[in-house]
Amino acid sequence: MTLLGYHLIVVFTLNHVEGDVQLCERILNNELKKYPNGVWFLFFKGRLEFVKGNISSAIEWYTKSWKSQDMWPQFHHLCFWELMWANCLNQDWRMAASFAERLCQESRWSKTVYMYQKAAMLAMLGDSLTAEEACEIEKLIQDAPKYKQRIAGKSLPMEKFIVKKSERYFKQKKHLVLPAIELLYLWNLFRILGKDWKFADSVFRLIERMLIKPSVCVEFEGDNRALLLLLKGACLRQMNKPLLAEEALREAIGLEAKIKEDNYIVPYAIVELGLLQLDLNEGEKAAALLEDAKKNYTGYSLESRLHFKIHSALTELAKSKKLQKNGKRESS
């Protein structure tokens, strides 16, 4: 169980590399033969399918896990969280919002996060929004900051981010730019896009359509364009389009002076560019970019989250260099 949690959740969430998916597959095949209704094994089977990009299958397994027991309602919340993101990747925004709503009503973790995420999913409906849903978005975003918590004297980083975004919503005429796609990126779920072209392509099309739309708020035009370019570059990286990805990311970084509030975008774009260089086996370039983001940027939203990713990438680079040195010694 520990191995499954580590490889399918911890590694996937905090790093840019994947856990040992094959090991998890072997474990789950064996355990599900013995315990076909084991809630945790059903859940991890769903998670395995999720990280492999098999979203429809993941939804089936998560649903089986959720409905397999009713003695531990907290376990349902894990399933609802996963089902929310699985439906988000499917761009079934109303279904994703329904699971966010269930979390709002039943889970005690962070009402602020759940409320904002529901609003973000509904906001993706655009012209398909009903008048009732539009009013609900406004109320959710207005109320979300009221439930911000302090744990051991500190606020949750994602809650602080959401409070800023909620304020921004009202500053720019009750509008946010692709809020659910931004959340997908920040929760490190863009990696799923690379597993299936249709997911990446559908997200890319959303971003492209938004890039050609007139700005909804001149005051935050730099922030919004930089965000879209970051998302575009990250998406293109998953689509294995390195030159186009680099172009978009460098353009996002170039907008630094025009960004008023979203100060996380530039360091995140620099790290994304570093990971792109890592994909291309350009170790020195990757290290320089990662160190740049690590040393020259601070005080931005979700900083610790990015530092986990930087640390993981630099550790991987160090291991790679060590292996290369050892290989040269052996050959000589």
pLDDT digits (tens, 9 = 90+) for 32-50: 999 998 999 999 999 999 9
Q: Which helix (H) or strand (E) holds 316?
A: helix 303-331
Q: Is residue 201 assigned to a domain?
A: yes
Contact residues for 188 (Cβ-Cβ < 8 A; gap 6+): 12, 13, 14, 309
pLDDT above 70 covers a percentage of the chain that reads 97
Q: Which helix (H) or strand (E) holds 18?
A: none
60-84 per-position pLDDT tens digit: 999 999 999 888 888 999 999 999 9
Q: How many folded domains does the chain comprise? A: 1
Q: Is residue 88 assigned to a domain?
A: no
Q: Is residue 25 assigned to a domain?
A: no
Inter-axis angle of helices 111-123 and 131-143, nearest 10: 150
Q: Are 249 and 266 in contact (CB under 8 A)?
A: no
Q: Is residue 314 assigned to a domain?
A: yes
Strand intervals (E) in the chain: 150-151, 154-155
Q: Is residue 30 assigned to a domain?
A: no
| CA-based nearest residue to 316, from 280, 283, 289, 269 | 283
pLDDT at 289 over 70: yes
Range of the domain at 237: 190-322
d(CA 90, CA 54): 11
**b/e code 141-157 from CB counts within 10 Å (16+ = b):** beebbebbeeeeeeebe
Residue type for 215, please?
A: S
pLDDT at 317 over 70: yes
d(CA 64, CA 250): 44
d(CA 272, CA 234): 7
- The whole-number pLDDT of residue 17 equals 75
For 278-296, what is the mean pLDDT?
95
Q: Is residue 9 assigned to a domain?
A: no
Q: Are 293 and 306 in contact (CB under 8 A)?
A: yes
Task: Write the CATH number for 210.
Answer: 1.25.40.10
Q: Is residue 290 assigned to a domain?
A: yes
Report DSSP letters for 202-258, one per residue.
Answer: HHHHHHHHHHTSPPS-GGGHHHHHHHHHHHHHHHHHHTT-HHHHHHHHHHHHHTGGG
Query: Of residues 18 and 100, which shows the higher confidence score?
Result: 100
For 306-330, what is the mean pLDDT?
79
* Cα dihedral sign, 164-169-173-177: positive
Name the β-bridge partners of 150: 155
| CA-based nearest residue to 1, from 36, 33, 38 | 38
124-178 per-position pLDDT tens digit: 999 999 999 999 999 999 999 999 988 777 889 999 999 999 999 999 989 999 9
Q: Is residue 70 assigned to a domain?
A: no
